[in-house]
Structure formats: C-alpha cells, structure tokens
C-alpha cells in the first residue's frame, strides 16, 4: 500500500514518464478507444469458430487511453443479444495473481516471509498421508512446488451435471476444502517438482487471514480493487451471481465439447470452493489495468516483484511459473507474463509484455472445442508481439 501512496504523490512525473516510454517503445499508436476491425477481430472470430458461445478481447497500453476491443458471438444461447461491452466474468485461476500480490505485499511489510512454513500459520492443517506442513513453505504454495493434492475433484458442482444441480449453491469453508484435499493422494514433493494445485492458493488465502485478521476477500478489495479503481472487479464471497452486465456460462461437463449436446447454463455458482484460487470476477479492461499496475511497480516493491517474476520450469505446460504469475514464450522472441484461467463455463487468458507496455486479455464462454485454448493463447501472443496496429471503430 505504501507503493501506491508514494506513486500518487508522483503522479504528474509518472504520467509524463509513461507517455515518454510509450512514445519511444515502438508499440501502440495513439488511437482513441475503438473496435479493432482488423487482426484482433479476426483472432476473436477464430476463437468463436472453435465452438464457444461468446468471445471478448481487449488490447491496451497501460497508463494511456489507447486500447482496442473486439467481440464475437452472443451473451446468451438462443438469443441475438451481443456480448456486453465491459462484461463481467469469472476469471478463474487468474485470481492467483491477486492472491500472490497480497501475500507479497505482506512480505514487503515484514508481516510474514516466503520462507515461513505452512505449519507456522496453519498448525495441523497440512498433515497426514505423508504431508507435513512444517516442511512446506509459503513460497512453495505460491510456486506450486508444495506437493499438496488438488481439491477440485472433490467438488461435485464442478464435475457433473447432477453434481452442479445439487450443489451449485453450496458454501464451503476454507478449512473444509483443506480437509478434503488432505484426504487425496499425495503428490511427489521437492524443490524441482512442479504440480499445479488450487489447494495451494486456498491455503494462501487462509494464511492471509491469519496474518491480517481479515478475510481474503477484504484484503484483495482494500489492497488492489479499490486503490486501482477496478469498478468491474469483485470477490463474490458466497453469492452465486455475476453482478452487472455479463454473458452466460455454459458447459457440457465433458459430454459433448463443441456441440449443443448436454449444454447446461452454469452461470449461477457459489464459488466459495475457489477462495484465493479462482473466485474473482472482473472485466477485460480491469484485468488489463491490474496487470499493468502490477508490472508497473504500483502494487509491489522491486524486491517483491522480482520474487514474483522469478520462475521455475512447469513441466508439460510449455511455460515457466513464478509466484502466481506465468512466464510464457512469445513466438516473436522473448516472453511475457500472465495467467490463464477457467471456472465452469468461463475461460480467460491474460498477458502483459515484460516491460509493461502492452496487455492483451481475452475471455470466452462455454467449453468450446479442442482448439479453443490454443486460439486464445495465439491471440495474446500475436497482440503482445505488437506486429499489428490498433484500428479505429465502434467503442467497446
């Protein structure tokens, strides 16, 4: 929070510096907000063609009003209602960047350490089945090298149509989720072993509460959402609804990807099972602003940002992973930072160039087909490579 306050005092200086950097970066031209009639729209159309119901994307130069948006498909099956401008959606695992940011702020304030053990803050929570919280650090939680099992297979609402209908409004406590995870088979542990587990970030949310005495939701709101003015972003708690304008979410629970067979509207969902790991609701524009502020040094001090962006290999993923942030290779050379996300009918991909000069965020509704995820990744890659200029058109 001290970072934000100091930045406000130097607002005029930073505004001029940002304008200078953007003007000399060879990136986005100074074009007013508008609908991208060229390559971005074609990429969005290509994602829609993989079988999703709706798609929306935004490319932005953080710190400026320069942006391009494109949309395709409809907001609700069986209607002609277009994807809403500024539509809100569940960002899924991109939530992890928010959680890691709060943890690193607390580290920077001297209230905890990345080398603290889980046992220090959550005594007795990680135990049994070969797991020992006294041998697992906060860093390992955020880095997915803890070996702690994944809890989501235990969540009925996420795994079948019958389970969704029966339990979509069920509230889980973090303690309950941790207990469910501890009953699952252990993942091999060790500094060199990487294994993605949402449980890591549920535990991180629990640690945030222990350190601050306040809920994860409140810390995210007070430390990130409100200071950045992210008006379309929220942590819904136990509410099953997506507030404000939004497109509906759909899934077949694996029974008919890319077809209408067995498609279920899953927009209503109590996401308490994803506290810390996937519960945030946001917009493409707010996500662009969040990642821009993060990489721009407005949320973390240099030492903590360096910890976040220090990455390890994520075997089988084709990326490297830091603390709540992926490092993904660019086809034009180099890499970018960001995080994909998916939560029951909503999927997103958000990325920002290493120098913070350009962001690209896209989300889609429904499962889509086998090529959907790659098409979304391609859009972010091509837009961050910056080969295409922004065009003017309809405001989005």
Q: Where are the beta strands (DSSP E) in 61-129?
A: 67-73, 89-90, 127-128
E strand or H helix that includes residue 348: strand 346-353
Q: Exactly one of 93, 146, 195, 277 is catalytic; name it.
A: 93
What is residue 321's three-state secondary structure? strand
E strand or H helix that includes residue 320: strand 319-321
User: Is residue 86 within 8 Å of residue 269, measured between CB atoms?
Assistant: no
Angstrom distances, CA of residue 319 to CA of 145, 201, 329, 337, 362: 15, 19, 7, 10, 19
What is residue 106's three-state secondary structure? helix
**Whole-number Å distance between alpha carbons of 291 and 302:** 15
Buried b (16+ CB within 10 A) or exposed e, 96-114: bbbbbbbbbbbbbeeebeb
Estimate to the nearest angstrom the gap between the alpha carbon of 14 and the chain centroid: 27
Residue 318 CA neighbour count, 13 Å, CB half: 6
User: Is residue 197 within 8 Å of residue 180, measured between CB atoms?
Assistant: no
Which of 36, 57, 9, 63 shows the shortest CA–CA distance to 291?
63
Q: At what angle do helices 199-212 and 95-108 cross, to 10 degrees?
A: 40
Q: Decide if 93 is catalytic.
A: yes
**Whole-number Å distance between alpha carbons of 310 and 307:** 5
User: Is residue 269 within 8 Å of residue 342, measured between CB atoms?
Assistant: no
- Provide the annotated active-site residues: 93
């Amino acid at each position: 929070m001290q970072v934000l306050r100091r930045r406000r005092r130097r607002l005029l200086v930073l505004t001029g510096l940002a304008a200078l950097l953007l003007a000399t970066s060879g990136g986005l031209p100074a074009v007013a907000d508008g609908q991208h009639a060229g390559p971005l729209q074609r990429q969005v159309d290509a994602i829609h063609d993989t079988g999703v119901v709706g798609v929306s994307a935004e490319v932005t130069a953080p710190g400026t009003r320069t942006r391009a948006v494109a949309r395709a498909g409809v907001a609700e099956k069986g209607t002609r209602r277009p994807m809403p401008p500024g539509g809100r959606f569940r960002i899924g695992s991109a939530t992890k960047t928010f959680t890691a940011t709060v943890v690193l702020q607390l580290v920077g304030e001297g209230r905890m350490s990345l080398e603290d053990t889980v046992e220090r803050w959550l005594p007795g929570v990680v135990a049994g089945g070969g797991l020992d919280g006294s041998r697992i650090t906060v860093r390992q939680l955020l880095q997915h090298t803890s070996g702690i099992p994944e809890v989501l297979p235990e969540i009925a609402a996420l795994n079948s149509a019958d389970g969704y209908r029966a339990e979509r409004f069920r509230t889980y406590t973090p303690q309950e989720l941790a207990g469910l995870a501890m009953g699952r088979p252990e993942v091999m542990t060790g500094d060199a072993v990487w294994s993605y587990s949402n449980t890591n970030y549920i535990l991180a949310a629990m640690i945030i509460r222990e350190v601050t005495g306040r809920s994860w939701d409140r810390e995210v709101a007070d430390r990130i959402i409100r200071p950045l003015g992210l008006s379309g972003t929220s942590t819904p708690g136990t509410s099953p609804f997506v507030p404000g304008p939004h497109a509906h979410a759909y899934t077949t629970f694996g029974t008919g990807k890319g077809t209408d067979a067995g498609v279920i509207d899953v927009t209503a969902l109590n996401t308490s099972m994803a506290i810390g790991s996937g519960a945030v609701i946001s917009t493409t524009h707010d996500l662009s602003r969040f990642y821009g502020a993060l990489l721009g040094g407005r949320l973390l001090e240099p030492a903590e940002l360096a910890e976040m962006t220090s990455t390890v290999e994520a075997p089988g993923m084709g990326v490297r992973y830091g603390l709540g942030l992926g490092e993904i290779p660019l086809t034009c050379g180099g890499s970018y930072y960001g995080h994909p996300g998916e939560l029951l009918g909503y999927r997103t991909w958000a990325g920002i160039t290493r120098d913070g000069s350009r962001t690209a965020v896209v989300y889609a509704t429904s499962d889509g087909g086998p090529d959907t995820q790659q098409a979304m990744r391609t859009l972010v890659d091509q837009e961050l490579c910056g080969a295409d200029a922004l065009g003017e058109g309809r405001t989005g």
